[in-house]
Structure 1
Amino acid sequence: MSVFKTLIIAGSALTLSAAMAAGAPCGNNASGFERWKADFAKDAKAAGVGQRGLQALASAQYSTATIRADRNQKSFKYSLSKFMSVRGADTIVAQGRKRKAGNPGFYQSLEKHFGVPAGVLLAIHGMETGFGGFMGDTPVVSAITTLAYDCRRPQFFIPHAIGALKLVDRGTITANTRGAKHGELGHTQFLPGNAYSYGIDASGDGRVDLYNLADALASTANFLRKKGWKPGKGYQQGQPNFRVIKEWNAASVYQQAIAIMAARIDG
């Protein structure tokens, strides 16, 4: 797989505040969602969202599946050993080693450009989607706008909702693109705001596509590097790059699992 013949960074970081949605009150069920969308459309337009993005917002549906998933994240409460067992760590490590050996030049090129070892990228890829085996079945725009509307964590999800609408404007996704229950998309399950800010065209086809393996893994490496990854430094607990893994996922058990699996993959 050729990579980095053309390398395009998708966009600048989103710096959006939950305060921007002051006119759009949150809710805990579907009853206020349509009103919220109408209010949020004004904020989205002020934030630079164009007509295609606004149309995607207008067609978004309240996602009860997203809310159920958000209220039922049991695995992050497991012990490390149980979490790794439930998430299939041994299988991820075995498949990660196989993939690295099968395409060493690709992973070497990623590490050369971004300083992020193959094991880290493969551990994330395996953990998030089983190496692309399942990238989600929930409409991204509906999922992320539901979470931006929901009263539990609107301040976190509002910038990602804006990011998703801007991705629609850019043609990176459509109103019907499907991803995970929390609106993550692609091989490594980027939240939309991060996809907008850190997405890279590594395949050289002129567009950022997180459902393309080269784009997804290069974008993941770019995210980690921009978040402070130090090439050549360790990434286990207590080492310089472990804090960067925390930027990918806030759950401690997830962070530890990624670091352990990555080290096993890199051997």
Structure 2
Amino acid sequence: MALATGAHAQCGDTNAGFDAWKTDFAKDAQRAGVKQRGLDALAQARYANGTIAADRNQKSFRYTLSKFMQIRGADTIVAQGRKRKARNPDFYAALERQYGVPAGVIIAIHGMETAFGGFMGDSAVVSAIVTLTFDCRRSEFFEPHAIGALKLVDQGAITGATKGAKHGELGHTQFLPGNALKFGVDANGDGRVDFYNQTDALASTANFLRQKGWKPGKGYQEGQPNFAVIKQWNAATVYQQAIAIMGARIDG
């Protein structure tokens, strides 16, 4: 066992000590403003072995761009993306008017992340993100997302049983919980931010990019102003390149 960042409980490289760590982390969560529902979800969180296995076997960083795009089905995403844009042009045009982000970028992200909502994950979001915060590798990175997930539970946006990706990403475009809390938009006006609702999720994605510095009307290919903003979405270079390339093809 090694000490985590700050004056927190001990992190771990296995599930040993997870329950004791959760008890201590609950104090940090409470100080950060997490209420009872969130604390209950934390108490019920389980160590996510599948999440740890996925975190230690990330292949995207090792692929060439052409291999990555082949594996991710770029041609299919572009073809389906063009159809989606053609079916609902007013929606995407409204997003671009409000946030400045072209339809192609939003659609490419949607297709890449969940095949347009076809598969949004099978891992419990709270358990996954809490496990990654407990794990010693990147505790500091994941801690605000764990707090975010618990606050989303407090707000009723998710529950302890809500499913997402292996790293706790949730909804149509796989927001990390801290980002979901910060950039979420109730675009359909029903009084709640629901990342499993396409309208809310895509508006939230556009809002994230705009808040991260997207410059309306500027380019987003490598070397252009908005490519730096795409980098904020995913850390893998091939992923960033793929979004830019597919976005241009969808909009072209």
Q: TM-score, normalised by structure 1?
A: 0.92
User: CA distance change for structure 1 residues 211 and 21 in 2, over 3 Å: closer, same or farther?
Assistant: farther
How far apart are 1:74 and its partner, in Å? Answer: 1.1
* 4+ aligned runs moved over 6 Å, structure 1: none
State the distance in 2 between where 1:186 and 1:22 align: 32
Alignment check: 8 A CA contact 2:5 2:139 kept? no
The yes-or-no answer on 1:81 pairing with 2:66 is yes
State the distance in 1 between where 2:29 and 2:11 align: 15
> Which of 220, 230, 240 is the aligned partner of 1:245?
230
State the distance in 2 between where 1:22 and 1:256 align: 39
Which fold has the larger relative contact order, with Cα–Cα distance below 8 Å and residues 6 or more apart in sequence?
A: 1
The yes-or-no answer on 1:189 pairing with 2:174 is yes
How far apart are 1:52 and its partner, in Å? Answer: 0.4
> Which of 144, 147, 152 is the aligned partner of 2:129?
144
Equivalent AA in structure 2 for residue 98 of structure 1? K
Alignment check: 8 A CA contact 2:60 2:236 kept? no
In structure 2, the residue corresponding to 1:201 is in which secondary structure? coil
Equivalent AA in structure 2 for residue 75 of structure 1? S
In structure 2, the residue corresponding to 1:248 is in which secondary structure? coil
State the distance in 1 between where 2:40 and 2:132 align: 18
Alignment check: 8 A CA contact 2:123 2:166 kept? yes
In structure 2, the residue corresponding to 1:82 is in which secondary structure? helix
How far apart are 1:20 and its partner, in Å? Answer: 7.4
- Trace 1:219-230 onto structure 2 (pairs within 5 A): 219-230=204-215
State the distance in 1 between where 2:124 and 2:14 align: 18
Alignment check: 8 A CA contact 1:21 1:40 kept? no
Alignment check: 8 A CA contact 1:140 1:183 kept? yes
Q: Could you tell me which residue of structure 2 aligns to residue 65 of structure 1? A: 50
How far apart are 1:22 and its partner, in Å? Answer: 2.2
> Which of 13, 29, 33 is the aligned partner of 1:48?
33
How far apart are 1:76 and its partner, in Å? Answer: 2.6
Q: Could you tell me which residue of structure 2 aligns to residue 204 of structure 1? A: 189
1:172-209 deviations in Å (ceiling 9; x for gaps): 00010000000000000000000000000001111000
1:43-101 deviations in Å (ceiling 9; x for gaps): 00000000000000000000000001101111331000000000000000001000000
Alignment check: 8 A CA contact 2:186 2:192 kept? yes
In structure 2, the residue corresponding to 1:189 is in which secondary structure? coil
What is the count of residue pairs matched by the alignment? Answer: 250
State the distance in 1 between where 2:231 and 2:250 align: 19
1:104-129 deviations in Å (ceiling 9; x for gaps): 00000000000000000000000000
- Trace 1:78-157 onto structure 2 (pairs within 5 A): 78-157=63-142
In structure 1, the residue corresponding to 2:17 is in which secondary structure? helix
Equivalent AA in structure 1 for residue 50 of structure 2? A
Aligned-pair Cα RMSD in Å: 1.2
User: CA distance change for structure 1 residues 20 and 171 in 2, over 3 Å: closer, same or farther?
Assistant: farther
State the distance in 1 between where 2:92 and 2:59 align: 33
How far apart are 1:24 and its partner, in Å? Answer: 1.3
Larger deviation, residues 211-220 vs 72-81: 72-81
Alignment check: 8 A CA contact 1:20 1:43 kept? no
Equivalent AA in structure 1 for residue 169 of structure 2? E
How far apart are 1:23 and its partner, in Å? Answer: 2.3
5+ residue gaps, structure 2, are: none
Q: TM-score, normalised by structure 2?
A: 0.98
